[in-house]
Amino acid sequence: MEQYPHLYIDGQWVEPTDPREVELIDPTREEAFARVTLGTAADVDRAVTAARRAFETFSATSVEERVALIDRVIDVYESHSDEFSELIAREVGIPVSNRAQVTGPVQHMRVARDILREYPFESRIGGAIVRREPIGVCALISPWNWPIQTGVIKTIYGLAAGCTIVAKPSINSAASGTLLAQVLHEAGVPAGVFNLVNGTGRIVGDALSRHPEVDMISFTGSTAAGRQVGAAAADTVKRVSLELGGKSANIVLPDADLEKAARWNIQRAFFNAGQSCHAPARMLVHESQMEQAVPFLVDEAHRYRLGDPLESSTSMGPVVSADQFKSIRDFIQTGLDEGAHLVTGGLERPEGLDQGYFVKPTVFTGVTPDMTIAREEIFGPVLAVIPYRDEDDAVRIANDSPYGLGGYVFGGDRTNARRVVNALRAGRISYNGAATDSYTPMGGYKQSGIGRSMGRFGLEEYLEVKSVYGFEDEAQALPALFG
């Protein structure tokens, strides 16, 4: 049984003020593999105090110093990559074959470093100087489904901006969160600049949201939890950045390559066992092409190899927990009860896997937009295929959602497809399966969130804006903000 008994505060591994342990459950074996000690509101106060003290000096460091720090973090992180890969397989069931979960953070760190090198922290409008300055102490709350990458993105842009940090990973991924703290310690992040407090959202998350000395809170998780964070943060009027739930639609236009669209949809929707907020969990197909699409969907779903995430041949591991397993199965049962047509997958466990929280890749057709599986975020390997009459109907169905995180369009006529893309109300839209870019912003419309992460937009989430007048001569030496 592995032990994670410490918090990381002010550059040291310390015991919580009132220690309480929880067990981390291996979702493949349904048994505990580690114990984590949780912090309290008092520990949050200790961490915030350290971060506030460190902010005085770290906020004044030069760009060159922060670039060098990020380079050291990259080097140390890469030396631990195999350890990260094995750890997230055990704690949340992510297969070791899914290298993107481990290699992706390095790319994001390099992008943040390169943007920092070139970013104009001072510019001018007319004769005025516009300064961007670090916002202060930032509370960073990360989820379990991208346990390393989300925490890295939040942390690295906070450091690039010159902010200090108190981080809280999900309880489900507290082990990898602790390892990330170890990486930052080994890289020589100054004492108090990064702090880690493991704990529950109800206690530690709430304390961070309400703390008067926290200037910004960045939260990634469910929309329901995001509402609680926003409400708790309101009393102290701190900046709130939220990346929340999604129910993204993939509109397959009649002139699209139907086979490519169907196979891509399965691959993207069921990546990470469907536990991705950007997953295209709704596939919209013209009513005349529904029967043609089904064989491609079923064949691609059957290509997944479910099994132990520590085995290199596994392409889909278990879902994260017993609660998540039950929730996904309840949604599948609801789909059946409401009259959707199950074409593959379902409630039965995968053959040969009598232990572990494994869910078969599941596809429903005959889904109407009002069905539960078409409206609610399932967060598992379940796809709802919905027919549409014409393009306007497809756009209406896609936008008829409280969410607006991502969207996808497949088509042949680029001009027409662009019209559809522009009509979708979501933060990121991909055409014909185009890959995303780490330099571009990520975030949502509507109840999918507030603010943006990644790239220049992500850096600016951690910066305040100050207008300075009376220094016209100095302003003329700066780049113009507009024009």
Active-site positions read 243, 277
Phi, psi (rounded to 5 degrees) for 43: -70, -35
Contact assessment for residue 159 and residue 189, using Cβ atoms and an 8 Å cutoff: yes
CA distances from 367 to 180, 223, 278, 465 (A): 42, 24, 20, 48
Q: How buried is 314 (Cβ within 10 angstroms: 0-12 exposed, 13-18 middle, 19+ buried)? A: buried
Q: What is the DSSP string of 170-235?
A: -GGGHHHHHHHHHHHHHTTPPTTTEEE----IIIIIHHHHH-TT--EEEEES-HHHHHHHHHHHHT
| Number of Cβ within a 10 Å radius of residue 97 | 19
Q: Give buried/exposed letters for 317-349 (b at 16+ CB in 10 A, else e).
A: bbbbbeebbeebbebbeebeeeebeebbbbeeb
Residue whose C-alpha is closest to residue 37's, from 11, 9, 10:
9
The H or E element spanning position 271 is: none
| Number of Cβ within a 10 Å radius of residue 136 | 21
Phi, psi (rounded to 5 degrees) for 120: -85, 95
Contacts of 442 (CB under 8 A, 6+ apart): 243, 427, 428, 436, 452, 453, 454, 458
| Number of Cβ within a 10 Å radius of residue 74 | 18
In whole angstroms, what is the distance from residue 9 CA to residue 14 CA? 7
Pull the structure tokens for residue 161: 């901006």
Contacts of 115 (CB under 8 A, 6+ apart): 160, 439, 455, 456, 459
